[in-house]
């Protein structure tokens, strides 16, 4: 059973990925995400300026993080589809 494709040529390979090697997938993901990151980085300064205009209803004595930082972090958690804030963004 060195080559099962020769025995049954109409069978499909037992894999879900379209990539033939494990090195192709990270390269393809990087090629796909680079334009997206360039767009986000171009918009981010304007977003931060606008987020600073949001009034902060919290007690100033208890604030450890600016509201703008929390909003941007929440947006990135949503965009990267993280299950919870405790899960670090490793992408």
b/e per residue, 15-47, with b = 16+ CB within 10 A?
eeeeeeeeeeeeeeeeeeeeeeeeeeeeeeeee
Of 68, 70, 67, the residue nearest 45 (C-alpha)? 68
pTM summary value: 0.55
- Range among 2-11, 15-24, 57-66, 69-78 rated most confident: 57-66
- As a whole number, the mean pLDDT across the chain is 80
pLDDT digit string, tens, across residues 24-60: 888 888 888 888 889 988 998 998 999 999 999 999 9
Tell me: pLDDT of 1 over 60: no
Give the model's pLDDT for residue 81: 74
């Amino acid at each position: 059973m060195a080559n099962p494709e020769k025995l049954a040529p109409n069978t499909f390979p037992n894999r879900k990925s379209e990539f033939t090697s494990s090195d192709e997938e990270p390269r393809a993901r990087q090629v796909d995400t680079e334009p997206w990151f360039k767009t986000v980085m171009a918009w981010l300064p304007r977003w931060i300026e606008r987020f600073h205009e949001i009034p902060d209803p919290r007690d100033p004595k208890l604030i450890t993080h600016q509201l703008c930082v929390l909003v941007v972090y929440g947006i990135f958690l949503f965009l990267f589809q993280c299950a919870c804030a405790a899960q670090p963004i490793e992408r």
